[in-house]
Amino acid sequence: MTRAGELALALLVAALGIVREFALPAPSHLVAASTTFYVTIHLLAAAALWWQRTHPVASGSAIAFLALFTPTFASVVSAYSITARTTRHRWLVVVHALTWSVGSAVWTMPDGLIGPGLIAIAGLTGLHLGERRRFVEALADRERELTAEHARADERTRLAAEMHDVVTHRLNLMVLHAGALRMVAKDDDVRKAAEELRVAGCHSLAELRDLVGVLRSGRAARIPDVLPDRLSRLVADSAATGLEITLTEHGDADTISPAVRRTMYRVVQESLTNVHKHAPGAHTEITIHCGPSSVRAVIRNTRPSAIPALALPGSGSGLLGLRGRVEMVGGTLTAGPTDDGGFEVDAVLPAFVPT
């Protein structure tokens, strides 16, 4: 109801109260006073309705107090308003019924339950309409959520198409060139490096297709599991480029959940990428502890012994995104420089999270 409607309702309540005082030959009152006094009570109760929206407790309490002097129709309106607008303060409906009964001295009237009955009906009507309104609002909110989800799904599909068209095209060219180089190269080392580059490109294409499928479907469960031996292959691939790496594993990685294995793999992968980019010539130690309740991955590298020869592109937010990924599975990640000029990444994850 608009404020203009509330003003009109307050004026109607005041008019009905004044008519009641003058029309009834002897209205029942608990307190004996002049008609002017009772008319003032009705006007004050009607005025209190104006604050029903912003101050429901104060307004309802004031109306209930005024009803002790003479029953006012503002009590009926207040009972409806309270139950229709909020799920709280419903006790005021009972207070309105009691003060109406006391103010009109119902024990002296043959039809004394009419007033409390009207208040009860008004309260129940407000309760029904209020619940119906809240239900409709909940449906509208749910519809907006579904609409937003559909929009996100459309955006995921568009991003998947863009990623497939742009990135896979470049990776395919890289794989084809590496294969051609392997065929025409005379030197064995060059052929070996070209084959490693071709295999790495094929693996990247396979992972990219999986991620594109996730973007299109929105189902993270479709991401393939990272088997424990892939960590050894990841370290071996980095070592093949000349990086000095030591991998130490404690416990059985088969016992941890796939989601934790994937996260641990990405922690090591991102850490090795940063070593390649920022610490060439450094010695890197990777220590994995797989316990019954937690998994810890520590990647520490020494001070770089050379200046990076290649300026590899990066977003500068790799560790930030990695921390978010670790926290998503309930783990913690700390990263920072060490006293000897190196760098350390320390990730602690739970051993099991639902896939």
pTM over 0.85: no
Stretch 12-30: mean pLDDT: 76
**Per-residue confidence (pLDDT) for residue 345, from 0 to 100:** 95
Residue 124 confidence (pLDDT) above 80: yes
Contact 347, 326 (CB under 8 A): yes
Question: Which of 94-103, 148-157, 180-189 has the weakest average pLDDT?
Answer: 148-157
Question: Which of 67-81, 204-218, 273-287, 289-303 has the weakest average pLDDT?
Answer: 204-218
Most confident region among 108-122, 125-139, 306-320 by mean pLDDT: 125-139
For 342, other C-beta atoms within 10 Å of its C-beta total 18
Stretch 259-276: mean pLDDT: 87
**Per-residue confidence (pLDDT) for residue 150, from 0 to 100:** 85
**Per-residue confidence (pLDDT) for residue 25, from 0 to 100:** 59
Question: Which of 26-35, 110-119, 290-299, 335-344 has the weakest average pLDDT?
Answer: 26-35
More confident of the two residues 296 and 317: 296
Residue 317 confidence (pLDDT) above 70: no
DSSP secondary structure letter of residue 105: T
**Per-residue confidence (pLDDT) for residue 222, from 0 to 100:** 46
Stretch 102-124: mean pLDDT: 78
**Per-residue confidence (pLDDT) for residue 30, from 0 to 100:** 67
Question: Assign residue 218 a region: left if phi > 0, alpha if psi is -120 to 50, beta otherwise?
Answer: left
Residue 299 confidence (pLDDT) above 90: yes
- Rounded Cα distance between 150 and 140, Å, is 15
Contact 306, 281 (CB under 8 A): yes
Contact 337, 343 (CB under 8 A): yes
Residue 310 confidence (pLDDT) above 60: no
Q: Can you tell me whether residue 335 is helix, strand or coil?
A: strand
Q: Hey, which residues does 335 pair with through a beta bridge?
A: 345
**Per-residue confidence (pLDDT) for residue 355, from 0 to 100:** 53
- Rounded Cα distance between 104 and 112, Å, is 8
Stretch 326-340: mean pLDDT: 90
Residue 112 confidence (pLDDT) above 80: no
Q: Which of 55, 54, 66 is nearest to 95 (CA)?
A: 66
Mean pLDDT of the chain: 81
**Per-residue confidence (pLDDT) for residue 274, from 0 to 100:** 87
% residues pLDDT > 70 (the chain)? 86
Q: Can you tell me whether residue 334 is helix, strand or coil?
A: strand
Question: Which of 66-80, 143-157, 168-182, 225-239 has the weakest average pLDDT?
Answer: 225-239
Stretch 5-19: mean pLDDT: 82
311 pLDDT band, cuts 50/70/90, is: very low
In the chain, at which residue ranges do the beta strands (DSSP E only) sit? Answer: 244-250, 283-290, 294-301, 332-337, 343-350
Tokens of 352: 């099991």
Which tens digits make up the pLDDT trace of 225-254?
A: 555 667 888 888 888 877 889 999 988 877
**Per-residue confidence (pLDDT) for residue 117, from 0 to 100:** 85
Contact 262, 331 (CB under 8 A): no
**Per-residue confidence (pLDDT) for residue 3, from 0 to 100:** 73
Q: Can you tell me whether residue 204 is helix, strand or coil?
A: helix
213 pLDDT band, cuts 50/70/90, is: low
- Rounded Cα distance between 114 and 97, Å, is 10
